């Protein structure tokens, strides 16, 4: 069963709500049991949210590498490629962040 803290939104899994919220320390009374439908949304989206977070991490790594390449400044075509990679990494990162935000808005976190 999943329980949601009404103060901070933390979702807890267990047969009953925790004595206090692990995130904001609110008391047990601030938790409400999620419906089976809402719980299924969370379970179903768990892996795709993890994938989006990994894509964001990889995009940040690409941006960091591209920045290094830009700073080396070997020649104009090389720098241009690194600048393009940096810009594309930003777009990829923002797409995944927007998708996660969409999941949050639909209760799939």
pLDDT 10s digits, 57-99 = 999 999 999 999 999 999 999 999 999 999 999 999 999 999 9
Q: How far is CA 4 from the centre of its chain?
A: 18
Q: Are 53 and 100 in contact (CB under 8 A)?
A: yes
Task: Check: CB of residue 13 under 8 Å from CB of residue 27.
Answer: no
pTM: 0.79
Q: Is the pLDDT of residue 109 over 90?
A: no
5 φ, ψ to 5°? -75, 125
């Amino acid at each position: 069963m999943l329980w949601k803290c009404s103060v901070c939104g933390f979702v807890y899994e267990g047969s009953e709500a925790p004595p206090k919220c692990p995130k904001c320390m609110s008391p047990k009374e601030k938790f409400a049991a999620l419906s089976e439908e809402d719980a299924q949304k969370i379970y179903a989206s768990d892996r795709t949210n993890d994938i989006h977070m990994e894509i964001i991490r990889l995009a940040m790594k690409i941006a960091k590498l591209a920045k290094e390449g830009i700073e080396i400044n070997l020649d104009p075509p090389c720098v241009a490629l690194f600048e393009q990679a940096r810009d594309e990494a930003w777009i990829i990162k923002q797409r995944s962040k927007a998708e996660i935000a969409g999941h949050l808005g639909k209760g799939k976190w």
